[in-house]
Homo-oligomer: A and B are copies of this chain.
Amino acid sequence: MRLTSFTDYSVRVLMYVAKKEGELASIREVSEVYDISINHLMKVVHLLGKGGFLHTIRGKNGGFRLGKEPKDINVGELVRYTEDDLSIVECFNSDKGRCALVEECNFSGIMGEALNAFLSAVDKYTLADLIQDKEPMNFIDQH
């Protein structure tokens, strides 16, 4: 179970831009810092701009900065926006997939509850929390 690299890169871009505190960033610059391809980053920046997370300025001296204050960028909202598929299992979608047990199985309901628990945990944080000095978190090893 893993977030898409699209979400991962989106978080990295927003963190990098937040640290520039209003100064414009360029795709080339972010690409070099994180060793991520320019093609990937172009898609990420485009979508983040469309969603209002980034403010993008076209042209030779263009670039991008945050579209909102770090404290106003909710991590849960971002993850819901960048993950194209939050179907934990095949039968989670409205077309129900092709599982023979779909009418008599409670698994997708349980997974829905678990996904809500995951997103509720993430909803407590904003971009400001991501970039502040590291503190011990309420993190217990899952094994």
- A58 at interface, CB cutoff 8 A: no
* This chain: copies in complex: 2
Which residues of A from 22 to 43 have beta carbons under 8 Å from B? 33-35
A121 / chain B contacts, CB cutoff of 8 Å: 110, 113-114, 116-117
Binding site for B on A (CB under 8 A): 1-5, 7-8, 11-12, 15-16, 33-35, 75, 80, 83, 85-90, 98-101, 104-107, 109-122, 125, 129-135, 137-140, 142-143
Contact B137 A113 (CB under 8 A): yes
Other-chain residue from B80, B118, B125, B142 in contact with A143 (beta carbon distance below 8 A): B80
Contact B142 A116 (CB under 8 A): yes
